[in-house]
Structure 1
């Protein structure tokens, strides 16, 4: 088992593995070398700063593997202010960038043209924004416990007198994760233009060392993510700030053309190109650096999922949602009533329903408030759909293409500029609508995808240079406002770090127009593949109760009572994986038998909710050729595991199934029962596996509870 080899090699055991056993040691900030250095560490990683003659990172260590993360010194940041580029901190004099000798640091000097370190301060972590907990969620603490270190800098002598720049670091307890961002305070008495900035530069140790150049390089084994993210269903394709580049100072690298991507730069793709007014402040986006202790896929995925549970814990909210197809009061009341009967928790007036959150006329607002109040009387939350981007408003209000100086050519063809008067009015209207109606949820489709805008007449930005930054601020501030009010956010883009709760799990929409039997296996594949990096609660699936993208009667579940096998399969695999779906249609049930089926799986999910919302170990991917299996694990619960097993075959299957129990935290024995049957004790082998006997009916599903 790759995991155990890796764990033993780094000196870890199951009792000290941070992904299995909660680490209670706090983050520490300690001085070293007669106060010349300060260390921020948490037993998993540490970052060491030399403070004289200027502040610089002189060590960044992976304490889990005993390896150094960096091989050289770089500035702590770079800023372009009033047309001049300045390094922030850093030391000069390092010649060899293949490694950094601690004995040489004393001989390094400060750059006379750089911002110079003046003082530091320490403290605890602070919440980035408020999180109002209105519904069931995980047990994460907000803000996550840890420590902060702030380094304060002043400009070089004779430049920008009165301006101050601070670099902030946070490290969190029990996870190898560091956050970094910068702030600028303008005390110069006049506006100062910030053209752009680079908030992190790391001379990282290379992952691979090649003489030639491959088609695709492997980057250093670090996950870097910022909250300046958009237009992506995954952190990888939503990344707009982390860039792995060749290091021009690394002259002794093996690559012949010296193009190994080993230098990390974190910066916005454009701008922000802002005037910082006298007495005002600027704050950058935040960057998170997750240090891996393994290259094994499951372990890296578990690390990433732990990161989201730590810094975006609202993503663990996982309400059971129906998407009602029509927004007239009669249809919405029927949906509310049926949800209350079977245990669903939320109703969305879905896309195409006629719901219009931009309409703030008093009679419409009153009608919707009455529906919200009715839903609340039944302990149901009510929300609705709104489309932001991927639509045309007008030449006046759409983003302007900088290449043509006309609308068109945006990411979705045409899209409104959030800094136009329409954009300003849009956000004012929907915040007013939410406030007046008490709406509990917003499904925000076509969220801001990162479009730039060359307009010079839009009131919300000055021109091209600040257009992306201002639009990102508009959307992210709105999402943070929603999070503080407890408004649930379904957003099909990667806005988790700005407050959104859920995105798509990852599926092709037109697949829901395929015949029902094909949807089932494809759906399980989507869940299996989507939960390598997402927790179950972070992604939604889809169930076409009525026709969606075509397909006719062969693709839809209505009449529901005539397709109980397919409906039951959808319910079982969604609830069994802890993944909520868009059940889109006019009703959840049409007969008492259908109602009983829906309630059976809702009750199942609520009985095992803690463990079903926990992380997934990927045992066997669905392929239609044999049984498939996922294993939920959580060593902090009484039920430490739940294995969900599906049989796609048209015959009964009886066989042995190996379950990897390492991440349950069990080391010697496990008690396992099938469904609500009797428990049987199993002894774990040396690789923390057990073998169980499964006997599962044709096209059947079963589960095993592990304590």
Structure 2
């Protein structure tokens, strides 16, 4: 099957309608069913290949195990320019490479004829054997199908390659290691590689088992080392280098609401001192990828104990197009974190007393909402540890469930101070303050932390509550205390705290507890994060909020699916702004309220509707109910990917197109008019990712249908009329 770079889509499309359709069928973002992960033995048994038809990683298996090829099969690009170890462990203060080969004459590129000349370093961990299995789930997931609009595979389909290594012989060189080395026989290492069906995505992690008679300390690890072809060649150097066109994701991510920022402490693009033939005179080209924690983990393994690194995923782009790269990342999250596809319609109730909560539950059930969250400041308290309180909360949970509503509440974790004995300790001062992301924050690896999580588990098991909104989640803080029960000192403080929070989120996922977390914990079980907004914006006048809301959704969905982000609707005052900023009384601002729901439900993005009620009159109830009905009727397509058409700016129309090549509704076009007058426009609509190649049936909100032929650039032209400060939607079908 011929592969064509998707970067040059328009240039290579044939006029033939048959080839038009065939090109789409070959595109993994539209139809990935033909791209199955498999392994092959080549080069007379010297090499092992892990491939799925989109991306390929090639390994030498003798005289040691090493990556000798990394190829994008769509573009034909070879990413690898030089051989490096498969990882690195620092054990009791000594660095040991895992596998790898050396002897490459230059490091600009790797020729086939050089491979047989590469040599083994007996001081590295040595290759023993490998096994190939189906991918296994990294955590249990209790699905909530009522919130899922489509099937979600778990675990992902694909292959896991597990490569075992044995330790090098005893090494002792007092002039180098000052007596720190130890007999290594019995330290077994396995490097795991995963390749997924249907997308150019690989995963990797390392496990270590101590079968020696002595404790060992894993001071540091490097989970991935790749000498990658540079994206930019500069003699003098650059202030901001252009990096290789690969996205690196890990499950050791925190302290951000975006994927790159959340992973920045572990994804390191470094200078390569071995690359002496590069163009840059100071050898500063960032062409060496190393993935590792910035601190620690400093974990001690007793005899028989095991350790696993965090996981690294590598997504290889075949294009520089922003939309296509975003679609690739969104498919990655649907594959690796399918719980983020759960998209319940939710309300934030301001007060947690039974009367207020029951009113919210009743109204949610009446209009079709699916979840009530007892919000911050409501009085809900996960930390009470009070059996009578549990009983009252169970009564409320049972009442909610009888109405088909999920119920849960809010807890603040990290962005607060608990006590001088419990808070994060600044290693420079020996005191709390001026080191945590939020200045003061409790250390999770303390007796307080153990009690905090124990109480939450106890409460949710006793009550049957369904949702935790976990604000101020662990942001990657380090702690210099030597007195906390859950860590020894600074070096292991970050790793131990992260394991505590990720284990808790894994438990929530196993219990079917939905997680709203304003931090990047998708790979650890979180379902939703803020779509991306500044909270004080919801204190601005209502008309301003309408445009800003659509901007936030437009910008937030480049790398997030609609279900991955929440927005906010201040039914009552929030942070200020008074009457001009809020919607209550609802019936007096019903036009605005309806426009907000058009923004949100039209994008498939759920908001925190914060207030005491969802409606105050029969007319208000009917408006809310109609928008919920719209969303549920078109839920599959509205939860699908967004193609960005025109960013909202308040000066002309703006719009988005939902696409789903596997759905009955292939597209849903949502258009908005922010102006105080009706407008008519010709909208050139890209339908490539709907999977429609010949003609498209377009139905407006009134059910009127027209048929449009798809042009050579996969566009159709629509003549549309939009009412003043209004909207219109169109359904695209075959």
| TM-score in terms of structure 1 length | 0.99
Alignment partner, residue 576 of structure 1: 602
| Cα root mean square deviation, aligned | 1.2
Does residue 1:687 correspond to 2:698, yes or no? Answer: no
Matches within 5 A, 1:216-227: 216-227=240-251
In structure 1, which of residues 235, 241, 252 is the aligned counterpart of residue 259 of structure 2? Answer: 235
Mapped to 2, the partners of 1:6 and 1:211 lie a distance apart of 33
Q: How far did residue 3 of structure 1 move?
A: 5.6
Stretch moving more, 561-570 or 494-503: 561-570
Mapped to 2, the partners of 1:136 and 1:321 lie a distance apart of 11
Alignment partner, residue 258 of structure 1: 283
Query: Is the Cα–Cα contact under 8 Å of residues 4 and 687 in structure 1 kept in the other structure?
Result: no
Q: Deviations over 1:610-668 (max 9, x none)?
A: 00000000000000110001000010011100000000000000121110000001111
Matches within 5 A, 1:283-302: 283-302=308-327
In structure 2, which of residues 330, 335, 348 is the aligned counterpart of residue 310 of structure 1? Answer: 335
Q: What SS does the aligned partner of 1:650 have?
A: coil
Q: How far did residue 95 of structure 1 move?
A: 2.0
Q: Deviations over 1:21-55 (max 9, x none)?
A: 13234211111122211110000001011010100
Alignment partner, residue 5 of structure 1: 8
Does residue 1:471 correspond to 2:497, yes or no? Answer: yes
Alignment partner, residue 89 of structure 1: 99
Pairs aligned (count): 706
Query: Is the Cα–Cα contact under 8 Å of residues 35 and 199 in structure 2 kept in the other structure?
Result: no
Q: How far did residue 8 of structure 1 move?
A: 6.0
Alignment partner, residue 294 of structure 2: 269
Does residue 1:642 correspond to 2:652, yes or no? Answer: no
Mapped to 2, the partners of 1:191 and 1:569 lie a distance apart of 63
In structure 2, which of residues 443, 448, 463 is the aligned counterpart of residue 417 of structure 1? Answer: 443
Q: What SS does the aligned partner of 1:334 have?
A: helix
Q: How far did residue 215 of structure 1 move?
A: 2.0
Q: Quick one: structure 1 residues 478 and 342, their matched pair in 2 at CA, closer, same or farther if it must change by over 3 Å?
A: same
Mapped to 1, the partners of 2:281 and 2:650 lie a distance apart of 47
In structure 2, which of residues 593, 614, 632 is the aligned counterpart of residue 606 of structure 1? Answer: 632
Q: What SS does the aligned partner of 2:389 have?
A: helix
Mapped to 2, the partners of 1:32 and 1:277 lie a distance apart of 40
Query: Is the Cα–Cα contact under 8 Å of residues 6 and 294 in structure 1 kept in the other structure?
Result: no
Does residue 1:438 correspond to 2:464, yes or no? Answer: yes
Q: Deviations over 1:251-272 (max 9, x none)?
A: 1211222211111000011100
Mapped to 2, the partners of 1:8 and 1:166 lie a distance apart of 45
Matches within 5 A, 1:88-487: 88-134=98-144, 135-137=146-148, 138-158=150-170, 159-239=183-263, 240-409=265-434, 410-487=436-513
Alignment partner, residue 174 of structure 2: none
Stretch moving more, 202-211 or 511-520: 202-211
Q: How far did residue 113 of structure 1 move?
A: 0.9
Alignment partner, residue 554 of structure 2: 528
Q: Quick one: structure 1 residues 125 and 9, their matched pair in 2 at CA, closer, same or farther if it must change by over 3 Å?
A: farther
Q: What SS does the aligned partner of 1:365 have?
A: helix
Query: Is the Cα–Cα contact under 8 Å of residues 7 and 13 in structure 1 kept in the other structure?
Result: no
Mapped to 2, the partners of 1:229 and 1:4 lie a distance apart of 30
Does residue 1:668 correspond to 2:694, yes or no? Answer: yes
Query: Is the Cα–Cα contact under 8 Å of residues 3 and 296 in structure 1 kept in the other structure?
Result: no
Q: How far did residue 237 of structure 1 move?
A: 0.8
Mapped to 2, the partners of 1:30 and 1:516 lie a distance apart of 60
Q: Deviations over 1:501-556 (max 9, x none)?
A: 00000001000000000000000000000000000000000000000010000000
| TM-score in terms of structure 2 length | 0.95
Q: What SS does the aligned partner of 2:492 have?
A: helix
Q: Deviations over 1:378-432 (max 9, x none)?
A: 0000010000001000000001011111111111010000011111110000011
Query: Is the Cα–Cα contact under 8 Å of residues 7 and 321 in structure 2 kept in the other structure?
Result: no
Q: How far did residue 676 of structure 1 move?
A: 3.7
Structure 2 portions without partners, runs of 5+: 14-18, 171-182
In structure 2, which of residues 563, 570, 589 is the aligned counterpart of residue 537 of structure 1? Answer: 563
The runs of at least 4 aligned residues of structure 1 exceeding 3 Å deviation read 6-12
Mapped to 1, the partners of 2:35 and 2:319 lie a distance apart of 22
Q: How far did residue 433 of structure 1 move?
A: 0.6
Q: What SS does the aligned partner of 2:280 have?
A: coil
Query: Is the Cα–Cα contact under 8 Å of residues 62 and 291 in structure 1 kept in the other structure?
Result: yes
In structure 1, which of residues 19, 26, 29 is the aligned counterpart of residue 29 of structure 2? Answer: 19
Q: What SS does the aligned partner of 2:25 have?
A: coil
Q: What SS does the aligned partner of 1:406 have?
A: coil
Query: Is the Cα–Cα contact under 8 Å of residues 7 and 319 in structure 2 kept in the other structure?
Result: no
Query: Is the Cα–Cα contact under 8 Å of residues 177 and 288 in structure 1 kept in the other structure?
Result: yes
